[in-house]
Amino acid sequence: MDGAKRKAIEAAGWKVGDAADFLEMSDEERQLLETRAELAQAVRRQREARHLSQKQLGAMLKTSQPRVAKIERAAADVSLDQLVRAFTIAGGRIVVKTARTKVKQGQKPATPKKTLVLEVATSKSPE
């Protein structure tokens, strides 16, 4: 939505937001939802990059094709562990990067910020 349209809507007394705003989600809930969605998309991209069918990935995970379909759409009954496991078994790589900040003398050290990076390999072929 462009800025002019947004201003016009707000001027008419309406609020502009996304589904998370409507559901009044906390920042933590938003992060979890975004992480689940990103991981699910990464599982699919990784599976497709390796030219695997959902059935083949299911066999690698010791589960069924319908379960892989649920994993790839981040269904509510799919845990974060299952998403991570599917991604790594499909050949994806997870890298956690920690950024340290300098602390001035006499100040309490800040908690290091961590970033989760999902790497999708495109050259691996199915085993």
Whether the model pTM is above 0.85: no
- Read off the pLDDT of each residue in 5-28 and give the average, rounded to a whole number: 79
Contacts of 6 (CB under 8 A, 6+ apart): 16
The answer to whether 57 touches 40, Cβ cutoff 8 Å, is no
CATH architecture of 18-119: Orthogonal Bundle (1.10)
pLDDT at residue 58 greater than cutoff 70: yes
pLDDT confidence band for 86 (50 / 70 / 90): very high
pLDDT confidence band for 127 (50 / 70 / 90): very low
- Residue 34 vs residue 59, higher pLDDT: 59
